[in-house]
Structures are given as C-alpha cells and as structure tokens.
Chain A
C-alpha cells in the first residue's frame, strides 16, 4: 500500500503494509525515533504527534488513516537548528529529566498554545493529562508552558 502525506512540512510517499501504525512507520521506516512508544494502547502519550495540527497518539492511528494529512513529529518542531521558545523553556524550567515523555508533551503543549496562546494553569494541566511523566511531577512542565505563554504576551 502506498500512502502519501505531509511530514514535517515535506511531502512523503511511502510503501508499507496496511496494518502498520503511524508510530511504526515513523520510527522504523522513516527513522524518526524521537516519537516514543510507551504503552502502545493510548494511555501514556509518549507517541504523541500532530495530525493536521491536533495532538493524537500515533499508536492509535493506522498509517492509511493519514493519507493526505499533515503530520508533525518532534523532529519538525524546531526551526532548523533553532529550538522553539517552548523547547528552550522546557530546558530552563527543568521540565526534562529522563526525557522519554518530552517529545509527546512538547507536541501536546505546542498544540494547546497554537489554539489557546494564553492558557490558564488548569488548561495546561488538562492539555497534558494524556501524557504520563514519571520524573518531574509535572510542576516544571506546566511552568515551562506558562513561561512560554507569558513571553509571547510580553512581545
């Protein structure tokens, strides 16, 4: 089966088996290993990517379902070699420890800020409720997102 979609801004066309999940194709066929597999059943959010700008679990999407869609992975979040303010603030706030959940949380937070540039702390917490982090306790992650929103409003 051939599937055509846009990946991190560039058109791709890939021949693969129809039972493959978006997650499998990203990691094993396109070598984009920034997207992590945690639980594989939609509970941990480590495999979060954006499909048409919205956060989804790539373990719950069959590759054929992204035909004609626009997919953004963590590899496509930075602007070339320059990290986004959200990514820099994750480092500043100490929101990264082991790092396994980080790609998924960055994309979930990025989707939130695109839709709602000035969220409340509660809205940030709700937006990342589908992402498990066993290191940070979430406080630093929420701080990093709030900091990014504050910087934007100050601009």
Chain B
C-alpha cells in the first residue's frame, strides 16, 4: 500500500524549483515513476519522509533534444522510448540508444526517464555505462542557481549523488564524439524482458592504424555503482592491438572489479563472463582476430 502524500503538478520548471526550495526535506520528485512508485509500494526507506510528490514528467523544459556548440543536450525527462527512437541520438550515441532500447519493457520505456535512471544511483542502471564512456555531464538547477557536473563525479555511492535536496536535474549533456571511435554495448540479465542487469559494459575504441589511440570502458552492475576504469584505459593507450593485449586487458578488468567489490557469491560466474564479453567486444572492434 502506498503511503498518503500530497501531489503537485507544476506548470513550469520555475514553479517546480520553488516547491523544491520550500519543502526540500519532504518532497520526492517523480517523473516516469517506474522506480519511485514500486519503491513506495514496497515501503522503501528512501521515501519514508515523503509528504509531497512533485511530478515533473510533463514539463516541456525537461523534454527537448538540442544540439549546440558543446554537443547534445537531452532533456532530463525524455523517456527511453523517445531516446531509442530518436534518429540523431541513434546515429551519434548508438550505445546510449541500444541501452535505452534494452531497458525494462515497452511499458517501462514509455514512462522511465533518462535522469530517473541515474538520480537514484543504482548499480544496475543500464544507461549509465554508455553515458560514462560518452563523458556525459549533468546539468542541475535550483532556485539559487545552476551547475554542471560530470556524471562520473555526480555518482558518489549506491543511492547517493551530489544532488542537493533543493536541486533538480534538468539536462544531460553529451559532448560530440570525435571521429574515429567505434563502440559496443553489452547487457546480461536473467531473462530478456524486464531483466535487472547482472552485467552491463560499454566500450568505445579508437585505433590509429594498429595502435590503440584511445579506449573507454565503463561497467554497470559489476561494481557498487556504474563506473569507468581509468587505470585500465591508460594501460593500453599507444600499444599495438593484438589478441594478447585484449586478453590481458580483459583479465585486468576482472581483477579491477574484484578489487572494487570484494569476492561475492556471484564472482565465480560474473567475472569470467565479464572478461569474455570485453575480450569479444575488443576483438570485434579492432578485428585483431584477423590481423
């Protein structure tokens, strides 16, 4: 049973920010509701202080897709159906579009929003690894002002972000990807529909002839929060791509995950799958197999 609360449906972003500023300790922001509503239904402690639910799903200020000099600005309340179907997002950020198309079910994707996927900082958020390899930044507003934070710094710990109680995420900024990058997205769940991910991986690779110009690796559900692996990325930059290099990088990924999470009941299953997945994606992208 959902506890009682007041419901506010503001007419504008400013009105929403005013409500947040006045009642920041007791307001829960809702957009798609696919996390908040079942959370309340199940008595999640995250919502035990909620007296007011503030709905921002419909605000036009949060629903645009704009290209400017810095890259692409995606409205925080865009749904995953909208992102997966957006021709330009599919062309410029294919890993994000693939992740969006794989989330939940049609019914979930028609409601769930891009900012809603990471404001609760759940490890299994499928859009986070792609956003991290694209160096996404989070635009945040409150009545006091606005700021922009790299997503990698926005996410602090499970369920914890840098977002203050009176702030609202308004946009996700994606810098244009320089030419020469190719990428892959991998997701493993217990079933295809509605699966909570056990492993997600996003990979971007740029080659300079046979050398690794740049690689970006981000994982989800295998570490306490979605994260990049900067030490692994720098370990292969400038090196000549080969099956051996990818195999040792994949092994190192397993070690890095183990260091961050410690040994878990699932490690014996997850780590080899994770390593194989990364190895396969790297070989596929660099065609090192055929070199």
Which A residues have a C-beta under 8 Å from some C-beta of B?
1, 17-21, 40-43, 45, 48, 51, 54-57, 59-62, 64-65, 67, 108, 111-112, 126-127, 129-131
Contacts and interface: CB of A to CB of B under 8 A. Distances in A.
B12 interface: no
A129 B111 CA distance: 16
Interface in B32-47: 32-34, 37-38, 41-42
A48 B4 contact: no
B41 A130 contact: no
Given A42-B107, A55-B107, A19 B33 contact: no
A1 B37 contact: no
Contact of A64 (B4, B7, B34, B110): B7
Contacts of B55: 62, 64-65
Q: Which of A65, A67, A129, A131 has the most CB of B within 10 A?
A: A65
B9 interface: yes
B160 interface: no
Given A112-B106, A129-B193, 10 more contacts: A19-B5, A20-B2, A42-B38, A43-B194, A59-B37, A59-B38, A62-B7, A129-B105, A130-B105, A130-B194
B76 to A, nearest CB: 16
A11 B111 CA distance: 23
Contacts of A19: 2-5, 7, 53
B255 interface: no
Contact of A40 (B41, B104, B108): B41
A108 B105 CA distance: 11
Interface residues of B, number: 30
A33 to B, nearest CB: 19
Contacts of A108: 106-107
Contacts of B88: none
Interface string B16-53: 00000000000000101110011001100000000001
A99 B198 CA distance: 32
A56 B42 CA distance: 20
B106 A60 contact: no
Contacts of A126: 106
Contacts of A45: 105, 107
10 contacts: A19-B7, A21-B37, A41-B38, A42-B107, A54-B81, A61-B33, A65-B9, A65-B57, A111-B106, A126-B106
Contacts of A64: 7, 9, 53, 55
A60 B38 contact: yes
A57 B5 contact: no
